[in-house]
Structure 1
Amino acid sequence: MMIEMTMKIFCLHELAGAASDSDSDGSRNGMPDRRPADLKKQQIITDIENNYVLDTNVDIGVAGELVEEVAEENKSLLWFLLKQVRPGMDLSKVVLPTFILEPRSFLDKLSDNYYHADILAEAQQVEDPYQRFVAVLRWYLSGLYRKPKGLKKPYNPVLGETFRCCWRHSPESYTYYVAEQVSHHPPVSAFYVANRKEGFVIEGSLLARSKFYGNSTSAILEGCARIHLLNWGETYVTTAPYAHCKGIVHVMCAETGYHADVEFKLRSFLGGADQTNAIQGRIKRGKETVAVLEGYWDGKIDIKDKRTGEESNLFDVSLLKEQRLPRYLMNMDKQQEFESAKLWIKVSEAIQNEDQVAATEQKTLIEEAQRARARNLVTPWVPRLFHRNLQAVPTDGVVDQGWVYNHININPWAPDEVMEYEEDFVIKTLREGAAPVKPAADIRRDLARRMSDTDSHDELTRPKTSARTLKQSLYAIDTALREQTLAIERLSKSVETISEGQRQAAAFRPQNVGRVPTSSHSWDLFGGFVLAMVLQALLNWVFYQKD
């Protein structure tokens, strides 16, 4: 095993040296000497163009109430559903008819908050702490106006479902979004958003609950998001309103001392139309009210500085929606099995074709498959992209679900960093001096020529992990080891139980008198076997990438 590994490392060094020699020869022959980082950057830009496609769905609904006339053929079904629910009931346990579903996953819907990520890039440039706080608040409120026609509900993500997309600021600057359903009971969605070049990172997790109150429903989002302005070392903690924009939300920054309380209102039973989607809020520093704001979250919001008396417009949706960053989605052909669009594609197509029968059938298939996977789990589920920080401390009473991205990076953009990019849900950074990446076919051909005849064909066709991805591999190893630890603990308890049963049974057998118990020896063998498995997994992660 060690000889085989040594040969592989030697071949990788040989390939690196050959590439270096080739670059040097090109320079000596008068050819342009392109820096490795420039070559890699061009490859990243090409990959983005090949893997991501422009999202052409620009429907944002209209201002006003979220209402829609129900078709005649669906009224009886809706009435039957209403008769099944009781006040206080958790609607997550109710199978909703597909005609009230928005044809996309909740993981996708959470990304609506980032169409104006450029506002955060602008906030990063503001010197005054108060104006910086106002800019962050403006960004937060700008993420609420996109809504479907009528009151629609997105799909409940299945456990392990993932989603990714990005927004383009410039050809070399993208805001990346990755999300994963990290828990199903209760349903928790975790997300991570990054554009370190523009100076911000956002992370958070939300638990979604829906309840019926007799004459209304509420979709409650418990959790928070943290906006990191990297160059200032500031973190802004935000909570979420109810899904239909009701309730009080908080935006707070411990570093500057500013915080805001914003109340979202719905029109009361006797209220006029002017109360629909209205908001009121205050910005405070300590106990002092610094500014007040009011307006409509889907229209105009004005802000008044209490110290100077100056009034200004915080934003106007009619103008703001024309300034949205273009969003790019992963090409369907490049999506993995549990990515949202691919997972729900048949349900979405049926809803768009107004075929409620087919939509219900396809939705049921996905939900039944999830239940079957849950029944077959023998160890606790370990998310792929996030882990839970059990030491998460609530901020001023704010609920924190505590999920953290495995590859989180909240360091300010460094001078040697060139470009940020996403690869297999991992957000990475290209630095100066990075070696150019050869096409996979060239690497395999070079390895085949240099490897000994004893190497198998399977090994030759497996892409190798380079030093640039070693850090990401170690993160993955950490996640895998946490999963293995849980499995070993369960297995250990089972072995101990069996051993104890054998010892008790042996005590009643006369033929066992005088024999030396072998359970200790068996346990040593078992421990050695487990250790070998863990070491093998560790070596595989270091030297190989998954296909």
Structure 2
Amino acid sequence: VQKKNYRQEKKRATKQLFSALKDPSVVIVADWLKIRGSLKSWTKLWCVLKPGLLLIYKTPKIGQWVGTLLLHSCELIERPTKKDGFCFKLYHPLDQSIWAVKGPKGENVGSITLPLPSSHLIFRAASESDGRCWMDALELALRCSSLFKINLPKHGKDGEVVSPTDLNHTALYTLLQAATVSEQELFQLNEIIPENDAFSDKSENDNIEESENEHSRKTSESDQSELHGEISLDREGTTYMEELYEEFGEVGEASQTETVSDENKSLMWTLLKQMRPGMDLSRVVLPTFILEPRSFLNKLSDYYYHADILSQAAVEDDPYSRMKQVLKWYLSGFYKKPKGIKKPYNSILGEKFRCCWFHPQTNSHTFYIAEQVSHHPPVSAFHVSNRKDGFCITGSILARSKFYGNSLSAILDGKARLTFLTREEDYIITMPYAHCKGLIYGTMTMELGGKVTIECEKTGYVTELEFKLKPFFGGSDTLNQISGKIKVAGELLANLDGHWDREVYLSDVQGDSKDIFWNPTAEIRRQRLKRHIVLFEEQTELESE
């Protein structure tokens, strides 16, 4: 009897919340607000306030959902500002996530926008009167959130059956209440897909026809099993075509050095005359001979041709083994090089790139989407997801470049967050910088440099890596050197050394052996997952290949 009473009350609360979500007339206030992102920049978004919820969209068309704030966990405070307008802040008092994990129509990720904090949001209204109006409305919405709390009666009715539709509503309520998304400092990619895209892995629910000669694959919205009934939508999947050719640079030093022709040297001199040491090159127009024929959004996908290593890591029970698998996947993204010293072209604002990889071992897909969310400064945001195998990656990269006279550095300023969904573990990952020397004299050479980390706060495991630049008097063996350590709670567990494009050795502190940890042999290269890109006819206006 108690269980039935519980279900009845849960149904009632779910119906109330579902009605508030779906009914367009249940709106306290809706207007444009500026929201401050994690990178301290502001973006203008359409905000719809409902009882207990604040829905954020890109436009007033209520199509491009960005995220949903759960007001029952928020505190509201006015924030002083020296600029025009009126600022206020919604925050979690215990610095936990304030975001719902699903959208109002069952979306798993919202539209890509600038990185947003996970535990708070700062809003700016156009005027003080508008801001005061929002403050009053939010106070009302915060009080209204108590309407959805479940109050069990002392005596319930017997014999009432919970209908499938009610269970769907219950699932929605559970999803909205279970807002335990971990903090996303750099990129609140509560985010992806345009309305008609199919970004999630459907392989666990649908029968996918496969053959050896098949080069295209349909994918469609998945994980709607809890949300059928009134809120499910019939959407066509996106057609992905297998890439038949992949270009590799030569192994070793050959692909990292280049002799500039006399014609191109004159172009380089003309360009170099415009530069000063320490200058940021983000606004400098570069000659085409140093550009790679693909975008930076495309290049960021190079790290997922061995995403099957993450599928293996997700099922590892030992946290040390998981960290080593994550490290192996990280190293697998570097050995592919362009032919010659090339820079990918800068994407235009709003440009997108989508692709996916099929995992034959697990019959799943890893989906990738990236978007240029800012042009000056150039910020690229990306989201990678394989829900069947239980991992996703979100992040954003601010690409900066510095000129030093005879050399320049391309710095990837940002972090990626790898999450193992079933374990609720986050791995925060940073990237090395690319260094090109020999612009004026000497042989033009490209290297990777800098210190990077892979850190899991939950388990305490940390990997520290250093990409070393070639010394001035060093031989060819000193090119692409790498060294590192794996630690837990400050205790050293293993040392790493080798070359990031060749063998990397690992030696455990407790043992005397030194084993090959990673080596991109010809056999490993053959095991690269096949990448599929969106059929040209189905690409959106600002989508690139």
TM-score (norm 2): 0.54
Per-residue CA deviations over 1:262-299 (Å, capped at 9, x if unaligned) read 00012122211111001000111122111000111101
Please give the residue correspondences for 1:480-491 in structure 2 after superposition, counting only pairs within 5 Å: none
Q: Which AA in structure 2 matches 1:90?
A: D
Which one of the candidate residues 207, 218, 221 is aligned to 1:47? 218
Say if 2:281 and 2:400, in contact at 8 Å, map to a contact too: yes
* Aligned residue among 96, 99, 102 for 2:286: 96
Is 1:228–2:419 an aligned residue pair?
A: yes
Q: CA deviation at 1:95?
A: 0.5
The corresponding residue for 1:369 is none
Q: Is the 8 A contact 1:277 1:296 kept in 2?
A: yes
**Consecutive unaligned residues in structure 2, runs of 5 or more:** 1-23, 25-201, 211-215, 220-236, 435-446
Please name the residue that 2:248 is paired with: 60
Give 1:182's aligned residue.
Answer: 373
Map of 1:262-281 to 2, 5 A cutoff?
262-281=465-484
1:198 pairs, out of 375, 381, 389, with 389
Identity within the alignment, % = 53
AA aligned opposite 1:119: I
Equivalent residues in 2 for 1:138-157, closer than 5 Å = 138-157=328-347
Q: Deviations over 1:336-356 (max 9, x none)?
A: 110123xxxxxxxxxxxxxxx
Aligned length: 309
Q: CA deviation at 1:42?
A: 4.6
Q: 1:169–1:39: structure 2 CA closer, same or farther, 3 Å change rule?
A: closer
Q: Deviation at 1:311? A: 2.3
AA aligned to 1:277 is N
What's 2:456 paired with? 253
Judging changes above 3 Å, is the alpha-carbon distance between structure 1 residues 260 and 233 closer, same or farther for their aligned structure 2 residues? Answer: same
TM alignment of 1:111-130, pairs within 5 A = 111-130=301-320
Cα distance between partner residues in 2 of 1:214 and 1:37: 52
Q: Determine if contact 2:238/2:534 at 8 Å carries over to the other structure.
A: no
Aligned equivalents of 2:401, 2:340: Cα separation in 1: 17
Whether the 8 Å contact between 2:463 and 2:484 is mirrored in structure 1 is: yes
2:306 & 2:208 partners in 1: Cα distance? 26
TM-score by length of 1: 0.54
More helix by share: 1
2:513 to 301, 306, 310: 310
What is the deviation of 1:37? 11
Partner of 1:210: 401
AA at the equivalent of 1:334: E
Is this contact kept in 1: 2:238–2:538, CA < 8 A?
Answer: no
Deviations 1:59-89 (A, max 9, x none): 2212223112223322211121122211101
Distance, in Å, in 2 between the alignment partners of 1:198 and 1:77 is: 49
Give the structure, 1 or 2, with the largest relative contact order (CA under 8 Å, sep 6 or more).
1
Code of the residue aligned with 2:356 in structure 1: it is C
Which residue of structure 1 aligns with residue 275 of structure 2?
85
Instruction: Using the TM superposition, give the Cα deviation of residue 47 of structure 1 relative to its aligned residue in structure 2, in angstroms.
Output: 2.4
Change in 2 beyond 3 A, CA 1:178/1:89? same
Structure 1's 144 and 157: CA in aligned 2 closer, same or farther, altered over 3 A?
same
Contact 2:217 2:241 in 1 (8 A): no
SS at match of 1:88: coil
Pairing 1:328–2:532 present: yes
Calculate the aligned-residue CA RMSD, in Å. 2.6
Q: How far apart, CA to CA, are the structure 2 residues paired with 1:50 and 1:107?
A: 19
Distance in 2, Cα, partners of 1:38 & 1:242: 38
Over 3 Å counting, the alpha-carbon distance change for 1:313 and 1:181 in structure 2 is: same
Q: 1:215 to 1:73 in 2, by over 3 A?
A: closer
CA distance in 1 between counterparts of 2:526 and 2:273 reads 43
Runs (4 or more) in structure 1 with deviation over 4 Å come to: 36-46
Q: What is the distance in 1 between the residues matched to 2:422 and 2:315?
A: 9
The residue identity in structure 2 corresponding to 1:180 is: E
* Structure-2 change in CA distance of 1:253 and 1:154 (3 Å): same
Structure-to-structure mapping, 1:7-86, within 5 angstroms: 41-42=207-208, 47-48=218-219, 51-65=239-253, 66-86=256-276
Alpha carbons of 1:51 and 1:148: their partners in 2 closer, same or farther (altered >3 Å)? same
Task: Using the TM superposition, give the Cα deviation of residue 162 of structure 1 relative to its aligned residue in structure 2, in angstroms.
Answer: 0.5
Distance in 2, matches of 1:206 and 1:252, equals 18
* Alignment check: 8 A CA contact 1:60 1:145 kept: no
Partner of 1:512: none
Distance 2:315 2:217 in 1: 30
Which of 270, 283, 290 is the aligned partner of 2:493?
A: 290
